[in-house]
């Protein structure tokens, strides 16, 4: 007698009564509410000009101009202010035109001053000889101005040298960490930043440094960007981040996208969740490669 295997099919998910299980409705509602919150109403030169093109009477436009500069966050407040100026109720057509041409979108701005780091403070005194006798001090008014100073920091190290005739040995004062070569740590970090953050080519990086009076070659910049001796520290940091991310995460997601490496087709593996994102470039995307990337963060 032959054997058989019983396969139990999974029931399909129950749909909502309206048949729509997508969040599209909620997304559109949220976008609509956000759009309404960002709308306001004002009468200025531009909106008054458009209303004039609708052949509103000169008398009405003259009265509306009294609201020039005023801003209103909702329709009701705006129309109430207009009717108060006109001392009469608006017709349906006038309401439609005013709401259409006085509408504007508020700028989504946030205060930037609290995020600015003050590097130095400078007192701006008043010329006391220009003050009248009854002038009294009322404290200070503060103004913050942002600026950036880009300048060279070429250092000549004066290293002490000692020699021991008995030991036939010379002692030399050590160079500070990061200054062992011909370029300092700021140039080394800026090269990586200009290339991978600002998207600058090597010729443009050379042009920047030459304009600053720094003599640097393209081969040196290239070596800092591709040589394992300089770049392995970033790979190590990424792998450590990935390892910690796996340890503290309750789940991860993975996807891949195509990329090119030296003219060959490779794959960029994206491993992420709400805590972190890690990228790994691999030659294959088979199961073994995925397991290695998830477990070890290695590229095969």
What would the mean pLDDT of 252-266 be, rounded to a whole number? 88
* Sign of the torsion formed by the C-alpha atoms of 190, 192, 196 and 197: negative
> To the nearest whole percent, how much of the chain has pLDDT over 70?
83
Confidence at residue 1, expressed as pLDDT on a 0 to 100 scale: 47
Q: Pick the residue with more confidence: 24 or 3? A: 24
Say whether pTM exceeds 0.85. no
Going through 12-149 in order, the beta strands assigned E by DSSP cover 39-42, 71-72, 103-105
Residues contacting 239, CB < 8 A, separation 6+: 296, 297
What's the CA gap between 279 and 256, in Å, rounded? 9
pLDDT tens sequence across 179-217: 999 999 999 999 999 999 999 999 999 999 999 999 999
Highest mean pLDDT among 60-64, 92-96, 221-225, 289-293: 221-225
> To the nearest whole percent, how much of the chain has pLDDT over 90?
33
* Sign of the torsion formed by the C-alpha atoms of 126, 127, 128 and 132: negative
Confidence at residue 4, expressed as pLDDT on a 0 to 100 scale: 46
Q: Which two tokens stand for residue 206?
A: 């050379």
pLDDT tens sequence across 48-76: 888 888 877 888 888 888 888 778 878 88
Among the ranges given (14-23, 52-61, 75-84, 252-261), the one the predictor scored with the smallest mean pLDDT: 14-23
Confidence at residue 83, expressed as pLDDT on a 0 to 100 scale: 85
For 106: left if phi > 0, alpha if psi spans -120 to 50, otherwise beta; the answer is beta
What's the CA gap between 70 and 43, in Å, rounded? 7
Residue ranges per domain, the chain?
A: 29-105, 185-226, 238-296
pLDDT classification of 28: cutoffs 50, 70, 90 = low
């Amino acid at each position: 007698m032959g054997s058989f295997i019983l396969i139990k099919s999974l029931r399909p998910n129950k749909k909502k009564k309206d048949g729509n299980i997508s969040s599209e409705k909620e997304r559109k509602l949220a976008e609509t509410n956000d759009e309404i919150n960002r709308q306001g109403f004002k009468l200025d030169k531009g909106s008054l000009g458009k209303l004039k093109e609708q052949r509103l009477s000169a008398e009405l436009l003259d009265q509306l101009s009294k609201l020039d500069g005023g801003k209103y966050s909702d329709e009701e407040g705006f129309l109430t202010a207009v009717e108060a100026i006109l001392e009469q109720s608006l017709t349906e057509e006038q309401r439609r035109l005013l709401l259409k041409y006085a509408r504007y979108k508020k700028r989504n701005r946030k205060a930037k001053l609290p995020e600015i780091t003050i590097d130095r403070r400078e007192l701006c005194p008043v010329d006391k000889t220009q003050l009248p006798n009854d002038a009294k001090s009322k404290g200070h008014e503060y103004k913050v101005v942002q600026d950036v100073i880009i300048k060279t920091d070429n250092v000549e190290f004066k290293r002490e040298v000692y020699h021991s005739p008995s030991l036939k040995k010379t002692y030399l004062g050590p160079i500070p960490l990061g200054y062992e070569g011909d370029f300092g740590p700021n140039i080394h970090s800026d090269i990586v930043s200009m290339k991978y953050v600002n998207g600058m080519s090597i010729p443009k990086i050379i042009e920047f440094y030459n304009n600053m009076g720094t003599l640097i070659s393209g081969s040196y910049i290239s070596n800092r960007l591709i040589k394992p001796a300089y770049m392995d520290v970033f790979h190590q940091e990424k792998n450590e981040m990935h390892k910690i991310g796996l340890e503290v995460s309750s789940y991860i997601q993975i996807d891949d996208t195509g990329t090119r490496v030296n003219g060959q087709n490779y794959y960029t593996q994206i491993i992420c969740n709400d805590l972190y994102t890690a990228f790994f470039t691999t030659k294959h995307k088979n199961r073994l490669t995925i397991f290695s990337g998830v477990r070890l963060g290695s590229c095969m």
